[in-house]
Structure 1
Amino acid sequence: MDYPVSRILPPSSLCKLSSARWGVCWVNFEALIITLSVVGGAVLLAVAVCCACCCCRGKRSRKPDKSEERAAREREERRIRQEERRAEMKSRHDEIRKKYGLFKEENPYARFENN
């Protein structure tokens, strides 16, 4: 019987899908559909994996974005302010120690040398 060219799949009134053939007698139409869907799915999966890898690699190799640069700048500014506060507090504490005579001299035996 000739293949009905007006349709891709033959109507079920002519024959079952498992007995339909495509082009030549040895190509089972049902096996052809399954094979093409598996190959198509594998190709789509491979393309998706490649796109994901390219996107991830691009994000890692790029220079830091504005938010990362801003965060680093703010951390550095906080560190500098903290060091300034520490130095200021140390100088205040040293003044108070001098005022009350609690300042530790660099040479603990200097008192004895003055006598």
Structure 2
Amino acid sequence: MEYPVRKILPPASLCKLSSARWGVCWVNFQALIIAMSVLGGIILLGITVCCCCCCRRRKRSQKPDKDDERAMREQEERRVRQEERRAEMKSRHDEIRKKYGLFKEQNPYEKF
């Protein structure tokens, strides 16, 4: 019997779906429909999972977590303490230079 070309699924009046073949004699039409639907479902599920993973990664990269915030805060505190120590050491060195006369104050009347 020739396959009804104008219809995708053969009508039930011609044959049952389990006995219908597609293209060649060994390809069962019912098994082909099931296999294609399972394959399509797997592909859709894979795409959905990939999209969810990408969105989560993007959210995490945009929002710094608590560890990063704490590390940045500690780094800023260390920088401030270091600046304070530098200023203190500079003032001590200036005092010592003044004490021993090594500190040259700029005199506006000095010769060039």
TM-score by length of 1: 0.61
SS in 1 for 2:77: helix
Q: Distance in 1 between matches of 2:62 and 2:78?
A: 28
Identity within the alignment, %: 53
- Unmatched 5+ stretches in structure 2: 1-15, 23-28
1:96 aligns with 2:91: no
TM-score by length of 2: 0.63
Give CA-to-partner distance per residue, 1:88-113, whole Å, 9 cap, x none: 11011111211221102133744x6x
Residue equivalent to 2:85:
85
Shift of 1:26: 4.9
- Unmatched 5+ stretches in structure 1: 1-20
SS in 2 for 1:104: coil
Residue equivalent to 2:53:
52
Q: Distance in 1 between matches of 2:47 and 2:17?
A: 28
1:66 aligns with 2:61: no
Give CA-to-partner distance per residue, 1:48-84, whole Å, 9 cap, x none: 112112212322343x332222112211111111011
What one-letter code is carried by the residue in structure 2 that aligns with 1:25?
Answer: A
Q: Distance in 1 between matches of 2:85 and 2:59?
A: 41
Aligned residues: 90
SS in 2 for 1:40: helix
Which region of structure 1 is more displaced relative to structure 2, 82-91 or 24-33?
24-33
RMSD over aligned Cα atoms: 2.6
What one-letter code is carried by the residue in structure 2 that aligns with 1:45?
Answer: G
Q: 1:25 aligns with which of 11, 20, 25?
A: 20
